[in-house]
Copies of this chain bind each other. A is one copy, B any other.
Amino acid sequence: MISSLSFSQNPYDLWLQYDNIEEQHILETYKNQVSNIYLSLNSATGTVIKEEIQKAFKGLLGIEPKFDSKTPNIIISTLDKLDPSLQKKLPEISKMNDEAYVIQYISDSKDAQIIISAITEKGLLYGVFNFIKQMQLRNDLSKLSISDSPKIQKRLLNHWDNLDRSVERGYAGFSIWDWYLLPELIKQEYIDYARANASIGINGTVLTNVNSNALVLSPRYIQKLKALADVFRPYGIQVYLTARFSAPIETGDLETADPLNAEVKQWWKNKADEIYAAIPDFGGFLVKANSEGQPGPNNYGRSHVDGANMLAEAVAPHNGIIMWRAFVYSEEKPEDRAKQAYSEFKPFDGKFKDNVLVQVKNGAIDFQPREPFHPLFGAMPNTPLMMEFQITQEYLGGMSHLVFLPQLFEEVLEEDTYTQGKGSTVAKIIDGQLSNKKLTGMAGVANIGTAKNWTGHPFGQANWYGFGRLAWDPETSAKTIAQDWLKMTFTNDSDFVDPMTRLLLESREAVVNYMTPLGLHHIMAANHHQGPGPWVKDMPRPDWTSVYYHKAAADGIGFDRTSSGSNALEQYAPEIQKKYSDPATTPDKYLLWFHHLPWDYKMKSGKTLWYEIAAHYQKGVEQVEGMQKTWQKMQKYVNPQVFEKTNMLLNIQLKEAKQWRNACLLYFQQFSKMDFPDFIPEMTKDLNYYKSLKLPYAPGISPSWN
């Protein structure tokens, strides 16, 4: 009953918790090391840096930092304004990119100094956030010698936010963009959003849903957008919009949106000019075209290349980019949906303009708990591919399941595509290493909303944080991310950090186990996607059903994607084809993604497939129980409200994990006709019970779907 605001560890502050350092010796050491600051900047970004330092020092150290230049022990300066004698003492920075920074402790003078420097002010901001993080992590400042730069250029959140403030697949309340009161009302949340993103290196945000609305391109909304851009600019964050391909028609200006039509081209050029006049650093457009009912160039017999390049020309004079989504699958095509994006886009390799990124989801279906990497990665060497991850948990339990997604992201990024020989990981394709790409990017579909802690689930914050870290460096380990986030958000106590790191890293396998083990996929309930729905079959399209994907029948279960089936496997490199074409050499985790196997198929474990399916579902449930046990021991480290809320959410997760297990096993048993192994608890409800569960007004879907 005590207000949520009277605790330290305030959930609103995310990982930027600056609670007073309790370890007295560290506190005293830090206070001696960082009392006096020289800050060379007088710009808006300089103000941001100064205020962040004030906040951090006041919180962590309990001091008001002095910004006088006489005897500074911290020097924060862009490289060009730094004394040449100091420059020499820094790690090499000149060859690094514009967003790079260095942090160097220099002890050879009588008075030791910490230098934070960068080529640009934005780099300096990143450096300062990292420096503060060093104190949050209780690291030894006298050992600081950091030279860092982002490996990916465009590090973007994608907000699937509608203008009515509903959020498609949003589970954290509603859109934080209060368009109605913009541009006049600048909410504090906008500032704190920018601050949080800058702290993890995110440098762009697409504010609107990919299922887009042309209204946002109108003059009135451009003024609103400008207000947000002005807030975000000092934090190094650019704004982007989704472009509705049919906007020229919907605004009433034209009768066609044909990308080869001269008037259409001019319309977009004019629109781009209009936006850039208000927002000189506008980032560009994200486009979902000819996908799931969205308009696009195909409506006029034109290709994705025609559409993307037309828009690319419009924004090119302003250094804007186009992110063109590859998430397409045709209503007419009978081809395995997993194959369609590759089939459609691979022939376009090398044909897009320089300022076009093709944005590809991590897997070929749709953000499932586990999918093999998308076959387009590595298949378009002459086209910059942008990774699209989903931070919001559309298929992973909405807001009520604790799932640490950096583990999922890491798994994808580490996968070897073999497209340029062994070691051609997805990460190296995305960050441009393998083909020296000029343009690189990673997008994360945001899990942010009006919830007082931003993400609804307290642990949703870790996924936002982790996405930022991986967009900065896609080879960062999930374990490092988990540890840093836990320390920054809660405490550095290893009795908390160590078991909770294990919990986080296991949480993603848990959700795979209790939802879609062994390569199963897309067997969730229809529309809202919450809870099991292996029985889903009557939908407007076959590839929106569950039966299309699991193909459970008397003869077995799984989608044959080898040469005897859809041969989606042929879209991968020969090394992978070879390995995955035989169930015996296919990793268990992808088994039923690529193979249709009999229920009594003998697994590597020696058990039957049916037994292993049951064992995985059971293990998932037990893993959630294990998470509960671990969490119970963490009470003393955590804000009591967060502790209780997480308890309640874990209870929901366990309840739903059991629903998944029971519903799926009962459903599949109709075909396997085999008994449950002994470790499966007795079912007290029948299949019809699970089928009858309805979730009206489930969050994250359009009101009209209810």
Show the binding face of A for B, using Cβ within 8 Å: 1-6, 10, 12-13, 16, 48, 51-52, 55, 59, 163-166, 173-174, 179-181, 184-189, 191-192, 195, 215, 399-400, 450, 452, 641, 645, 648-649, 651-652, 655, 695-699, 703-704, 706
Contacts and interface: CB of A to CB of B under 8 A. Distances in A.
B3 A163 contact: no
Closest 8 pairs (CB-CB, A-B) = A184-B652, A5-B10, A163-B697, A164-B697, A1-B51, A185-B648, A4-B188, A450-B450
22 contacts: A1-B191, A2-B55, A3-B12, A3-B13, A3-B55, A4-B192, A5-B12, A6-B55, A12-B452, A163-B697, A164-B697, A165-B174, A165-B699, A173-B173, A173-B450, A174-B174, A180-B697, A180-B699, A181-B399, A184-B652, A186-B648, A188-B641
B1 A703 contact: no
A191 B2 CA distance: 9
A559 to B, nearest CB: 32
B703 A166 contact: yes
Contacts of A52: 1
B51 A2 contact: yes
A195 B1 contact: yes
Contacts of A184: 400, 648, 651-652, 655
A674 to B, nearest CB: 33
B697 A649 contact: no
Contacts of A697: 163-165, 179-180
Nearest to A162: B697
B3 A10 contact: yes
Nearest to A189: B452
How many copies are assembled?
2
Given A3-B13, A164-B697, A697-B180, A185 B649 contact: yes
A87 to B, nearest CB: 30
Given A1-B52, A3-B192, A696-B163, A181 B706 contact: no
A80 B4 CA distance: 35
Contacts of A649: 185
Contacts of A704: 703-704
Given A185-B649, A652-B181, A48 B163 contact: no
B450 A180 contact: no
Nearest to A194: B1
A113 to B, nearest CB: 27
Contacts of A400: 181, 184-185
A541 B135 CA distance: 66
A16 B2 CA distance: 11
Contacts of A13: 3, 5
B706 A164 contact: yes
A1 B48 contact: yes
Nearest to A58: B6
A695 B163 CA distance: 12
Contacts of A165: 174, 697, 699
A324 to B, nearest CB: 27
Contact of A215 (B1, B3, B696): B696
Contacts of A2: 51, 55
A16 B651 CA distance: 32
Contacts of A192: 1, 3-4
Contact of A652 (B6, B185, B641): B185
**Residue among A185, A648, A703, A704 with the highest chain B CB neighbour number at 10 A:** A185
Given A181-B399, A188-B641, 8 more contacts: A2-B51, A3-B13, A165-B697, A173-B173, A185-B652, A187-B645, A188-B645, A450-B450
A219 B2 CA distance: 32
Contact of A5 (B5, B166, B173, B706): B5
